[in-house]
Chain A
Amino acid sequence: MDTQKQTTRLLDAVLFREIWKAMKVTFKHMFHRPMTFQYPREKRTIPDAHRGALGLLRYDNGQERCVGCDLCEAACPSRCIKVISEEDKSLPLQRYATEFYIDITKCVFCGYCVEACPVNALAMTKMYEYSTHDKRTLMFDKQRLYEIGDQHLEDAKKYLYAHNQEQDDEESRTYRYHFPQPIGKTEASDS
């Protein structure tokens, strides 16, 4: 046995058998479909749960969902959100965000703000292509965030469903509510 082992070892050394074995694996891969894809031309399919850029959402009737409660600001681990809220003087008891900033250069995309939001005004989208030459444009303000929200509304909704933030559309309509109207009155104000 020993001699046989010795012989094998000698042959291994002389014939570079391990190289042949490895080459075999490598050559086999020549017949595989390539794993890579050509990015700007081909795009990945992104899962619903994907945590991309944040957007602000509106109710179906176009009203801003955000009530400026600042909970996202409190929840944010990187302190990149700044909400400035105020009373909407035209509607007593109506609080809304006059300004809403997300410093996307600081954002860590953890999704805590979405989890925290008591009205599901925030959602993450599948948008990830917003690289820029100017860092200033990465300070997303309220307008930009609503634009993202409007453009990627479907993705945003899917995100909320995927992360159990909302049930499906139909069900969520029953418990979705507007401040300051109590629940149950929402149906009327929706239509």
Chain B
Amino acid sequence: MHPIAETIQARFPDGFLSAQEWRGDLAVTVKREALHAIGRFLKDDPAMDCDYIVHVSSVDWPDEEERFEVVYEVYSIRHRHRIRVKTRVPEHDCYVDSLTDIWPGAEFMEREVFDMMGIRFNNHPDMRRILMPDDFPEGYPLRKDFPLQGKGWRDSFDFLNEGATS
């Protein structure tokens, strides 16, 4: 296992779940209860020193019990290493602790995750939609079960369809 993953495992034996390395990327899967503490550790520990937040993302696995995966990717400018921290949340209890207090940039990225996937973040200063309108009623667009086909506004232009069907 990658030394960084080993360090995390040693520090957080309960929170650490697994580590994967593929194509040179290190990804660590942790329990969501431990996410905040691990984030704090990655930021503050001099050996980690991950001061730069790269992105926060989310993946939807509708067939799995813990449906959503929240992905944080952080980077250390000094040590030049990149760590991806992933955690899973079930759909009925869709909360993760926000890491905004550790990396302020997480605010916008987490808002985007909330907007697109519907995962909420505890202690987030401003948990609102960001790209979709605030009153967007139709759910979360990047979920796999978001309806793809609908009667869009283009369908109301008869002339566009006339040619195609006649």
Contacts and interface: CB of A to CB of B under 8 A. Distances in A.
Nearest to A136: B159
Contacts of A141: 163
A82 B159 contact: no
Contacts of A135: 157, 159-160
A101 B161 CA distance: 11
A103 B161 CA distance: 10
Contact-residue bracket for chain B? under 10
B163 A101 contact: yes
A191 B157 CA distance: 47
B164 interface: yes
Interface string B136-166: 0000000000000000000001011011100
A71 interface: no
Contacts, number: 16
Contact-residue bracket for chain A? under 10
A141 B164 CA distance: 9
The listed residue with most A CB atoms (<10 A of its CB), out of B157, B159, B160, B162, is B160
Contact of A82 (B157, B162, B164): B164
B154 to A, nearest CB: 9
B54 to A, nearest CB: 27
Nearest to B161: A139
Nearest to A82: B164
A136 B161 CA distance: 10
Nearest to A105: B160
The listed residue with most A CB atoms (<10 A of its CB), out of B157, B159, B162, B163, is B163
Nearest to A134: B159
A103 B164 CA distance: 10
Nearest to A138: B160
Interface string B15-26: 000000000000
A136 B162 CA distance: 9
B97 to A, nearest CB: 39
A101 B164 contact: yes
A101 B164 CA distance: 7
Contacts of B163: 101, 136, 139, 141
Interface of B: 157, 159-160, 162-164
Interface of A: 82, 101, 103, 135-136, 139, 141
10 tightest Cβ-Cβ pairs between the two chains A and B: A136-B159, A139-B163, A82-B164, A101-B164, A101-B163, A141-B163, A139-B160, A103-B160, A135-B159, A136-B163
16 contacts: A82-B164, A101-B163, A101-B164, A103-B160, A135-B157, A135-B159, A135-B160, A136-B159, A136-B160, A136-B162, A136-B163, A139-B159, A139-B160, A139-B163, A139-B164, A141-B163
